[in-house]
Amino acid sequence: MRIVAFGSSHTTGYNLDDFKNLTANAVSKYAFPQVVADMFKCECLNLGKNGNGIDQIYTDVFGYLGQHQPTDFVIIQLPSNPTWFKLITSDDDSISIINPDSLDFKNRKFQNALQQYYGLLTGNNHWHRLWYINFYSLINLLHSRNIKFVWFFDSFCDPWGRIDLMISRLPKDVQHEVHNLKNASPDPATTHIDKLFAEHLSKNIPNSLKPCGHYDQTGHRFWAENVLIPYIQERLTHD
C-alpha cells in the first residue's frame, strides 16, 4: 500500500518546521499525507505543489497514472476557490493565480500576465466552467482506473454545497454542458469528506493556525488522525 497525495500548500505542509530551508516545491515530513502513511506503516508519495489550482491537480493526477500501483490510496485536497488556475505567460513563466482581480494587487509580473491573458478573461463564469470541466474529469479519471481515493476542500468555503446554485448562474448553453458532464460522472459525494480542512482545524485546535495562514504539525496530525485515517480504514475494510 502507498498513500498518494495531491493538492496545494496544505498538502505539501508549507511552512512547517522542516520546510523553511527547503525548495519551493518541497514537501514536509510533518504534513498530513506522511502522518497518514506512518500510521499505516507504508510509503508516502506526496505530489502536492504550492499554489496548485484544480487544473494542475488534474494534470498531476493524470501524470501519476503511469506509476500507479493497485494498492495505492489517493488523497486529493482541492482549493476551495474555483477561480484558482495557472497561467503560462508569453515569457514562458508559470504563474498561479487566485482569480483575475487578484492580479491587480500583485507586482508587475502578475500584471503582465493579466495583460497577456486579458482577451480570454470573461468574468467568473469563464473560470467556473473550467473548474467543472477539470473537476468532473478528475472524478471520472480516478473511477475509470478503479483507484481508491478521497477528496476534500481546503478552506472555509465549500463549493460542493453550492454546486447546483453555481451551475444555475451559468449561461444556458454552459449549464447544459456542465449538466452533461455531471450526468456522465460517478457521484462525487461517495468519495467526498464533508469537512473543510481549515475550518475543521480552526474550530477544534485554533492554536495550530500559523500567521502565514497555514497550520502547524499538530493541526496536520489532528486532520490525519481524526478525519483521514478513520475514513481510509473504513474504505479499506468495506471496499
pLDDT for 171: 86
Banded pLDDT at 237 (limits 50, 70, 90): confident
Residue 169 lies in a domain: yes
Asked whether the beta carbons of 139 and 74 are under 8 A apart, the reply is no
Q: Any idea what the CATH number is for the domain that residue 47 is in?
A: 3.40.50.1110
Q: How does residue 56 score in pLDDT terms, banded at 50, 70 and 90? A: very high
Average pLDDT rounded to a whole number, residues 205-219: 92
Mean per-residue pLDDT, 131-140: 94
Does residue 95 sit within a domain?
no
Secondary structure of the chain in HEC code, one letter for each residue: CEEEEECCHHHHCCCCCCCCCCCCCCCCCCCHHHHHHHHHCCEEEECCCCCCCHHHHHHHHHHHHHHCCCCEEEEEEECCCCCCEEEECCCCCEEEECCHHHHHHCCHHHHHHHHHHHHHCCCHHHHHHHHHHHHHHHHHHHHHCCCEEEEEECCCCCHHHHHHHHHHCCCHHHHHHHHHHHHCCCCHHHHECCCCHHHHHHHHCHHHECCCCCECHHHHHHHHHHHHHHHHHHHHHHC
pLDDT, tens digit (0-9, with 9 covering 90-100), for 150-206: 999 988 677 787 888 888 988 898 899 999 999 999 999 999 998 999 999 999 999
Q: Is residue 94 part of a domain?
A: no
- Of the given ranges (107-111, 187-191, 227-231), which has the lowest mean pLDDT? 107-111
pLDDT band at 1 (very low <50, low <70, confident <90, very high): very high
Residue 72: pLDDT band by 50, 70, 90 thresholds? very high
> What is the chain's mean pLDDT, rounded?
86
In tens, the pLDDT along 111-125 reads 666 655 554 555 677
Distance (Å) of CA 42 to CA 12, 70, 151, 178: 18, 14, 20, 38
Total structural domains within the chain: 1
**127, part of any domain:** yes
Predicted TM-score (pTM) of this structure: 0.85
- 102 in a domain, yes or no? no
Q: Show the domain range for 171.
A: 2-80+122-238
**With 0-12 CB in 10 A as exposed, 13-18 as middle and 19+ as buried, what is 66?**
exposed
Is 204 inside any structural domain?
yes
- Whether residue 39 is predicted with pLDDT greater than 70 in this model: the reply is yes
